Amino acid sequence: MTSGTSGIRFLLLIYSHSTSLKLTSMKIATMRFPGLFVNGATYHRIPEHVFKNAMDASLEFFQLPEEEKMKYEFKKPLDPIKYGKETVTNPSDQKNYVCREFLDIYVQPELHLPDKPQKLREAVLEMHTRTRPLHGLLIHLMATGRNMRVEGGVTEERFEMESCFRHFTANYYPSRPEFEEPIPMQPDTNQHVLFTIFMHNGSESGLEFSRVIYGERIPRDKWSRIRQAPPHAVLVHAGYPIEVYNNGYYRTVKLRAFVNTEAQPRITVGISIGPGLNAVVRTATEVEERSQKPSCYVPMKYIEIMEIMENNRLHGRIFDKEQVNYKVQKE
């Protein structure tokens, strides 16, 4: 995975080959550029068929008749199963085309599954089970890294991980040869979780990540393309609660997809983990004491953050940190 920058703001590439946990933890803790993060690697132990089955089953869902899919139309921020579409205007003919379909399924603390297809019900359950250890490992590495040094168990207790929130997501990008070039779509607003583990098919991910450029009158996003990952590698995206917990040391990134102008459909599947719905998301006291810097974030219940971001998504708005009481823009 390459980009035009020297690193990635906590967008990790997790390989399938074995790497020592100690080395991985050290990379995550020390290999940091100004506001950025480089690739980390560890053995994720998730069989390849888990993601492949989820992709195949998700494709079956997206190929269902329209009336079957619309039973799960995204209407409320906390709907446990959400289906929706994103349209993009083609500059060449000024027509609107459906360039993305998505499906979100809440699997924890309560399990929700669509009626059809049966293969998807089975694939979601397997992915939910198989990815649980990797989510736990990521939280441990984040909490115990050199800049944090918080006991893993303490972090899990603060985030109320025994009653954590998890959901499965699939995104389908149909082939759109009508477009002369791949146009970027709306940035993803699913930033309320701790971590999202995801994988894509195709020769390239069709995704970009952003970092904020300061030093100008108005800060702006700089977008960099995520190139092809090695076979059976997964991408990991850290969300807003992680940024709050470490007081901005790891900053979440925005992600956005491109209109798919390739011949074959593109699909991504992922599973996310968030704190318990009633957990209070706040900066770790150990971080504030060690850095002698007050938190830049006002504590909020996780369910409140989640409702704000999902409401933004429902109405096609971009997430703004000021909505969740971000107090000071960190340099």
More confident residue, 77 or 184: 184
Digit-coded pLDDT (tens) for 84-107: 999 999 999 999 999 999 999 999
Q: So what's the architecture of 50-324 in CATH?
A: Sandwich (2.60)
Q: What is the CA radius of gyration of the chain?
A: 19
Could you tell me how many helices (H) and strands (E) the chain has, helices first? 9, 14
Instruction: For 128, list phi and psi in degrees, rounded to 5.
Output: -60, -45
Model confidence at 22: pLDDT above 80: no
Residue 10 C-alpha from the chain's centroid: 11
Cis bond before residue 109 (omega within 30° of 0): yes
One-character DSSP codes across 33-49: ETTEE----------HH
* Count of positions (residues) in the chain: 331
SS3 assignment, position 236: strand
Question: Looking at residue 208, what is its pLDDT?
Answer: 81
> How confident is the model over 284-300, as a mean pLDDT?
90
Evaluate if residue 289 carries a pLDDT over 60. Answer: yes
Task: Report how far apart, in Å, the C-alpha atoms of 281 and of each of 166, 171, 198, 209 are.
Answer: 16, 28, 24, 24
What's the angle, vertex CA 111, arms to CA 110 and CA 115, rounded to 5? 140
The pLDDT tens digits for 144-192 are: 776 677 876 899 999 999 999 999 999 999 999 999 999 999 887 667 8
> pTM here?
0.83
What's the N-to-C CA distance of the chain in angstroms? Answer: 26
